[in-house]
Amino acid sequence: MTAPEDLERAIIGAVPELTGEEIAGPSGLSVQQAQRLWRARGFPEAGDEAACSDADAEALVRVARIEREGRLDFDTIVKMTRAVGQTVDRLAEGEVALLPGLLEGAPS
């Protein structure tokens, strides 16, 4: 049987090991800003649980740099993040809807 960590690694390429607080600090954004972006991506509130990966931390550093350099304001970044999150959600729903048909023809 596959462990949940193996499934997470297969789907997202990593196992979440960092909390929102741990990735907010190095980015220069507040924990509240990091949480706002997390929710905008469509993820549930994680509280104090480790829900972030190194890739999430790197993305947050990039976002903070974009804001710091004045290329986009934080509210615009949140809106763009929400739009991407909603698009990914629709793609995932479509893939899940196709999955049963693909599995029917798969060798057992």
How far is CA 60 from each of CA 13, 28, 99, 107, rounded to the nearest angstrom?
17, 9, 32, 42
Per-position pLDDT tens, the chain of length 108 = 466 667 666 766 777 889 989 999 999 999 999 999 999 998 888 888 888 889 889 999 999 999 999 999 999 999 999 999 999 999 989 988 888 887 777 666
How far is CA 51 from each of CA 13, 31, 37, 58, rounded to the nearest angstrom?
13, 13, 13, 14
For position 84, what pLDDT does the model report?
95
The DSSP bridge partners found for residue 30 are none
Spatial contact of 91 and 49, defined as CB atoms under 8 Å apart: no
Angle at alpha carbon of residue 84, lines to 87 and 95, rounded to 5° = 30
pTM, entire model? 0.76
- Which residue range is the domain that position 87 belongs to? 4-104
Domain count, the chain: 1
**Spatial distance between the Cα atoms of 83 and 103, rounded to a whole number of angstroms:** 30
Q: Is 27 exposed, middle or buried (0-12, 13-18, 19+ CB in 10 A)?
A: buried
